[in-house]
Amino acid sequence: MSAVVTVTSGADVAVAAPGGAGSAEIIIIDCSGSMDYPRTKMTQARTATDAAIDVVRDGVGFAVVAGTSTAWPVFPTDGTMAIASAASRAAAKQAVSGLRANGGTAIGQWLGLARQIFAGYPAQLRHAILLTDGKNQHETPAQLAAELSQCEGLFSCDCRGVGTDWEVSELRTVSTALLGTVDIVPDPAGLAADFAAMMENAMGKQVADVSLRVWTPQTATLKFVKQVAPAVDDLTGRRTQSGPQAADYPTGAWGPGESRDYHIGVEVTPAGVGQEMLAARISLVAGAEVLGQGLVRAIWTDDEALSTKINPRVAHYTGQAELAAAIQEGLEARKQGDEETATAKLGRAVALAHQSGNEDTAKLLAKVVDVVDVESGTVRLKKQVEDADEMALDTRSTKTVRVKK
C-alpha cells in the first residue's frame, strides 16, 4: 500500500520562540587556497558572509567558522556564540574582512568545530550554512562520515558549492545527513543574495525537531518513508524506535505556512474480501507533544478496476522519485563514458519531467541533451556541456513539483 501524507504548519506555529535564545546560526566559510582562483571567490565569500550576518536577528546566537585542512573560530575567536546586536554584527564583519585563502579542505573538521560551538549554546533551532569550492581532499570519506554521524540531529546544514571544482555527491552527503539543502552558485557574484535568502529562511523557522511517527499493527510492515515535496529525501534509514511497532523519522525544523508531502509504503497481510484494517497510524510529534494524526486504512476487494487503480498523487510522486534517480544515474553514466545508458536514463528523465509538469527540471535537462521527442523521451547527448549546467542539473534533480489539484 502507498499513502501520500501532506503536512502543513499553521500560520501561528510557535513551539520554539522565533529568533531569540531559541535560535543559533553558524556560517562556515572555505578558506582553502583554491578560493583565490579567481580572486573574486574569496572576496564574494566575505561579502556573502556579511550579507548573512546582516539578516541574523537581534538576540540570536551566531558564530563564523573558517575551514581549510583544519578549522578555527573567526568570530567570536574563543569558540563561543555571540548574541546578535548592531555591535556584535559589526564586530563579526570586521573579523570576516581579515579572511584570506590558504590551505586545504577537510569538511569533517569544519563540521566538528561547528558541532562543538553548538553544543555549548542552549538553542532549540540550530542551523549552519557551509560554503566550499573544492573536493574534500584532506580527510577520508570515513572521517567525514564519522563526523556527520556525531552532527546528525544536533543541527541542520545548508550547503553551497561555488564554481565547478567541487563534488555534488560529497555535499549532498552532508546536506542529506543534516536535513539541509545543496545547490550550486556557479558565479561568485550570486553568493550574497543566496546567503541572505538562506539566513532569511532559517530565521523564519519556529518549530524545532519535528518527527513523523509511524505506527503499524502486527499484521503490517513498514517498507519506506520518503519526503517527496518540495524535494525527494529518503528518510527510511533514519528510523528511531519510539515504542512497540512505532518509529520516528526526522523532518527537521518548520516555519509558519510550510507544507511538505511524504510517501509511505506499507505491506499488509492478506484478508477476506470486504474486510477493513488499519494499515498505519501517522502522527506528527515535537518533543512529547502530538501535533496531528492521520490513519491509513486497507480495504480488501475483488473488483479489479479498484485494485489496479493507482492514486494520481502516488503515481505523481513515484514518477518524481524516478525522475531524480534517472538524472543522477544518467549523469554518472555520462561521466563514465557509457553513452548508451546515459542517453536512455536522461531520455526517461525528459519524458518524466514533461509528464509531471516539472518545467524547471525540463529546462535544466535541455542544457545537457537535445530533445528529439519529448513524449517518448527520445534524446541525443550534447557534445559540449558546461560543467555548471551539468552540476546544476545534478544538485537540483531532487526538487519536485506538487501534484496539481
For 79-136, how does the pLDDT look when each residue is reduced to its tens digit (9 = 90+)? 999 999 999 999 999 999 999 999 999 999 999 999 999 999 999 999 999 999 999 9
CA distance 182 to 169: 10
3-state secondary structure of 290: strand
Return the higher-pLDDT residue of 45 and 307: 45
3-state secondary structure of 296: strand
Q: Is the pLDDT of residue 404 over 80?
A: no
Q: Please give the CATH number for the structural domain made up of 313-395.
A: 1.20.120.1690
- Interior/surface letters 131-163, b for 16+ CB within 10 angstroms, e for the rest: bbbbebebbeeebbeebbeebebebbbbbbbbb
One-letter amino acid for residue 27 of the chain: I
CA distance 219 to 214: 14
Q: What is the separation of C-alpha 269 from the centre of its chain, rounded to a whole number of angstroms? A: 34
8-state DSSP, 32? -
Which residues pair with residue 337 across a beta bridge? none
| pLDDT per residue as tens digits for the range 362-371 | 999 999 999 9
3-state secondary structure of 109: helix
For 315-335, what is the mean pLDDT? Answer: 96
| pLDDT per residue as tens digits for the range 232-253 | 999 999 999 999 999 999 999 9
Detail the DSSP E strand segments found in 42-99: 61-67, 71-75, 82-83
How many degrees, rounded to 5, is the angle at CA 57 between CA 55 and CA 62?
A: 85
What is the pLDDT, as a whole number, of residue 15?
46
Q: Cell for 359?
A: 518545467
Query: What are the extents of the domains in the chain?
Result: 2-13+207-303, 20-203, 313-395
CA atoms within 13 Å, Cβ hemisphere of 201? 16
Closest CA to 258 of 8, 17, 13: 8
The dihedral region occupied by 377, where left means phi > 0, alpha psi between -120 and 50, and beta the remainder, is left
Q: Please give the CATH number for the structural domain made up of 20-203.
A: 3.40.50.410
Residue with cell 473488483: 303
3-state secondary structure of 273: coil
CA distance 239 to 327: 27
Q: Which fold has domain 2-13+207-303?
A: Immunoglobulin-like (2.60.40)
Q: What is the mean pLDDT of the chain?
A: 94
CA distance 212 to 248: 6
What is the pLDDT, as a whole number, of residue 17?
43
Contact 12, 157 (CB under 8 A): no
Q: Cell for 64?
A: 563564523
Helix axes 168-177, 107-119, angle to 10 degrees: 20
| pLDDT per residue as tens digits for the range 13-34 | 654 444 445 899 999 999 999 9
Q: pLDDT over 90 for what percent of the chain?
A: 90
Q: Is the pLDDT of residue 287 over 90?
A: no
What is the pLDDT, as a whole number, of residue 76?
98
**Could you count the other beta carbons within 10 Å of the beta carbon of residue 185?**
22
Instruction: Dihedral sign for Cα 183, 185, 190, 192, please.
Output: positive
DSSP string covering 193-262 = HHHHHHHHHHHT--EEEEEEEEE--TTEEEEEEEEEESB-EE-GGG-EEEETTEEEEEEEEE-TT-EEEE
For 169-196, what is the mean pLDDT? Answer: 97
**In the chain, what is the straight-line distance between the N-terminal and C-terminal CA atoms, in Å?**
22
8-state DSSP, 403? P
Least confident window among 25-34, 120-129, 263-272, 299-308: 299-308
What is the pLDDT, as a whole number, of residue 157?
98
pLDDT confidence bin for 207, thresholds 50/70/90 = confident
Backbone angles phi, psi at 253, to 5 degrees: -95, 155
Q: Cell for 330?
A: 544518467
What is the pLDDT, as a whole number, of residue 249?
97
Helix, strand, coil percent values for the chain (each to nearest 5): 35, 30, 30
What is the pLDDT, as a whole number, of residue 288?
85
What is the pLDDT, as a whole number, of residue 19?
41
What is the pLDDT, as a whole number, of residue 14?
57
